[in-house]
Amino acid sequence: MDLRLSDEQQQLVTALAALYARHASSERVRAAEPGGFDEVLWDQLLELGIVAMAVDEADGGWDASPEDLVLAAEQQGRAVAPAPAIEAQVAARALARLGRAELEDALTGERLVTIALHPAHADEALAVPAAAVADDALVLVGDRLLLVPLEGARAPFGNLGSMPLADVDLRAAHAVEVAHGAEALAVHDAAVDDWLRLTAGALVGVGAKALEIAVAYVKERKAWGVPIGSFQSVAHGLADVATALDGARLLAYEAAWAASDDRQRAAELAALAFAFAAEAARDVTDRALHYHGGYGFMMEYDVQLHWRRARSWGQVWGEPKAAYLRAADRRYGAVA
Amino acid sequence: MDFRLGSAAEELREEVRTFLDEAMTRELEERIYRSGTSYDPGYNAGLHERGWLAASLPAEYGGGGQDPVEVLVLAEEQQRADAPTYTNGTSVMVAKVLIEAGTEEMKRDVVPKLLSGQAICVLGFSEPESGSDVANAQCRAVRDGDEWVINGSKMFTTNGHIGDYVFLLTRTNTEVAKHKGLTTFLVPMKQPGVEAQAVYTLSGERTNITYYNDVRVPDSARIGEVDGGWKVMTVSLQDEHTGGYGSRIRRLLEEAEAWAEESGRIADPDVRARLAKVAAEQEVALLLQRRGIWMTEAGIVPEAEGPMSKLFSSEAFARASQDLFELLGPDAVRSYFDGTAPRHGWMEYAVRFALGTRIYAGTSEVQRNIISQRGLGLPR
């Protein structure tokens, strides 16, 4: 067992933390609401290679490991950064798996490609992440995987997490089929595994920063002449969520490690990591906000930025229980 | 990053499993449970023969000389099998203390017996009026020439009725701060004035209240300095830094999964979601404990991380056992080892047993204090 980050991983984390500190400050995050997209930030991320890192060298990328991607997602989560890095990475990996020429433009950012997490029904793909700002979306329709140009086909909607979500009307789009049959289903399934694993990392980051905000606040804020962090009701509540969050981080890292080193358990661990991280992020932001008292309820304080995203980023795919069921399918086999 | 424990550790795991499959029969499991005493000389002999009884200690003292990861694997597998390890746990812990702080005579005469299972040492820390607040011990030791006279009582002296020695925390000075007036002794239990009275617990385990009435020990029974008992205690409590119950949750999950397969309920989405949630918590419990071991190996004391492992795994074990108990419906209440109970009544056992794990070796509240103060830096 070795939980140390490699030097390269350390550099990646440092570089991303610096980039997000500069381009995803609380002011910038707020300025990008409610649309949830900061174009300058996105350009910076593209320049750093945020999409290219997600695919193999042979496909024109730079072959970062699943662990690297989870570490990157964690930094995005800490900053609650308004840029669709995870969706773009996941879609690029799907295009690479299919050997599609569209990958090239996706890697440079010439075209921003995202993916619908659930199959379309009645010619509509609902709540597609990043679809409000992306150029194309991969959408599974039955057993066909389509690449759908979004202009004129999307209907963005306001949402709790200030995410660039949109419903996509397939009838209004000139879609291209990129895979069909078993291959389409398998590529989409693998993409969902990727997305769950990376979103687990992002949710850990969302929660970790909220915990830091709360710890700083309860050390400073006094009631009855003492810092409220000295009250056991507050301290113990934070100890519980800090513990769960450490567990969520370890599980997300393990799921990432398994994606290359323990393929048999990789899909199950991705779903478990997602479910556990979603619960941990939900609980830690709940306590973090509550221990601010009335100030936590004010829009002015940053903790609400994390509280809203902890409840939204994962929910776009589904509730924790849905992920537990997905994990059960991998663990026990699907129910006939 | 690497989440494997290494091939040496995994080979050891296979060996330990083979040993446990043979040694831990249902009959033995039932006999131990009904006796209420987590001890079996035959089992210990088998462990000792393989160098696994005191795996963590160097070979020069009669230990197995295994590294922390191998020690972890041994603990994980024995926990999963619910093997009778309590006497080994306490005896090895005290042997470590004696090696660090005991007299040459103790190291020569007592340590080898403890590490071979020939003698049992139990812990005398908690008292009727002090549990988590262990430094508040009131059991008195008063000097009388070359001897000490001990009077008082100790609570939860598990295995006190079969112990050869008790590692006893006593008060030797009432004039100073409570941490500064403590002295530890290695007290032979089979002597006049020492009495163990049975205390039965909800898990089925028998523990004891032990009484010490004018018990006389020579000064050579003292461990460490006079009034230096707290320093000795910190050596003994270090081991508890990396405790965890992940493998108990694993056993619980395995029993519940077997039940679900046998009953056909495995196709029920509600059952599947609940089992998978326990699988996640089990994985997290194992990871938190393994992180502590990894830190220890890297020379870092897992000051807050150890308590996180203990807190999360015991709370998750209690949560999971309650949920899986409820999952079984009316059958859940059938007693452990009752012939009519599903999975030998394991859920009925687990739901009781799990409660204790949140209490002993530092309650959840004590762990949360440590995590919030040392991990999060919150003020006292």
Q: What one-character-per-residue DSSP string does A202-247 give? A: HHHHHHHHHHHHHHHHHHH-EETTEEGGGSHHHHHHHHHHHHHHHH
**What tokens were used for B39?**
């001890």
What's the CA gap between B172 and B139, in Å, rounded? 9
Which amino acid is located at A40 in the chain?
Answer: V
Which residues pair with residue B215 across a beta bridge? B150
Mean of pLDDT over chain B: 95
CB pairs under 8 A between A and B: 149
Check pLDDT > 90 for residue B240. no
Torsional class of B177: left (φ above 0), alpha (ψ -120 to 50), beta (otherwise): beta
What's the CA gap between B305 and A105, in Å, rounded? 45
Q: What is the pLDDT of residue A74?
A: 98
Distance spanning both ends of chain B, measured CA to CA: 35
The owner of tokens 């390890």 is B85
Q: What is the pLDDT of residue B238?
A: 67
What's the CA gap between B310 and A243, in Å, rounded? 10
To the nearest 10°, the Cα dihedral for A105, A106, A112, A116? Answer: 130
Segment B48-92, tens digit of pLDDT: 999 999 998 888 888 888 999 999 999 999 999 999 999 999 999
Q: Please list the ranges in chain A whose pLDDT falls under 50.
A: none
Q: Which among B284, B367, B376 has CB closest to A247? A: B284
Contacts of A242 (CB under 8 A, 6+ apart): A211, A284, B308, B371, B372, B375, B376
Query: Exposure string (b/e) for A91-104, b if CB count within 10 Å is 16 or more?
Result: bbbbbbbbebebbe
What's the CA gap between B185 and B193, in Å, rounded? 15
What's the CA gap between A76 and A219, in Å, rounded? 26
Torsional class of B216: left (φ above 0), alpha (ψ -120 to 50), beta (otherwise): beta
Which chain A residue's Cα is nearest to B274?
A: A324
* Contact yes or no for A282/A311 (Cβ under 8 A): yes
Q: Say whether A251 and B284 touch across the interface (CB within 8 A).
A: yes
Q: What are phi and psi of B343, to 5 degrees?
A: 50, 45
Torsional class of B65: left (φ above 0), alpha (ψ -120 to 50), beta (otherwise): left
Which amino acid is located at A35 in the chain?
Answer: G
* Contact yes or no for B115/B91 (Cβ under 8 A): yes
Q: What is the pLDDT of residue B234?
A: 85
Check pLDDT > 80 for residue B178. yes
What's the CA gap between A133 and A131, in Å, rounded? 5
| DSSP structure class, residue B374 | I
* 3-state DSSP percent of chain B in helix, strand and coil, to 5: 55, 15, 30
Chain B residues with CB inside 8 Å of A258's CB? 3
Q: What is the pLDDT of residue B326?
A: 98
A269 touches chain B (CB under 8 A): yes
**Residue B315 annotated in active site:** no
Residues of chain B with pLDDT > 70: what percent? 99
| DSSP structure class, residue B343 | G
What's the CA gap between B226 and B213, in Å, rounded? 21
What DSSP line would sit under B347-363, residue for residue?
A: HHHHHHHHHHHTTTTS-
Q: Which among A246, A275, A336 has CB closest to B280? A: A275
Q: Give me the mean pLDDT over the B307-335 stretch.
A: 98
Predicted-assembly ipTM surpassing the 0.90 threshold: yes
From chain A residues 27-86, the ones with a CB under 8 A of any chain B CB are 67
What's the CA gap between A327 and B279, in Å, rounded? 9
From chain A residues 204-263, the ones with a CB under 8 A of any chain B CB are 215, 218-219, 226-227, 229-230, 232, 234-236, 238-240, 242-244, 246-248, 250-251, 253-254, 256-258, 261-262
Q: Say whether B377 and A243 touch across the interface (CB within 8 A).
A: no
What's the CA gap between A289 and A214, in Å, rounded? 7
Which amino acid is located at A5 in the chain?
Answer: L
The vertex-B282 CA angle with B205 and B29, nearest 5°, equals 30
Q: Which among A67, A269, A331 has CB closest to B1? A: A67
Q: What is the pLDDT of residue A22?
A: 98
Segment B350-376, tens digit of pLDDT: 999 999 999 988 899 999 999 999 999
Q: How far is B130 from chain A (nearest CA, A)?
A: 20
Which residues pair with residue B208 across a beta bridge? B198
Q: What is the pLDDT of residue B239?
A: 63
Q: Give me the mean pLDDT over the B254-274 stretch.
A: 97
From chain A residues 274-293, the ones with a CB under 8 A of any chain B CB are 275-276
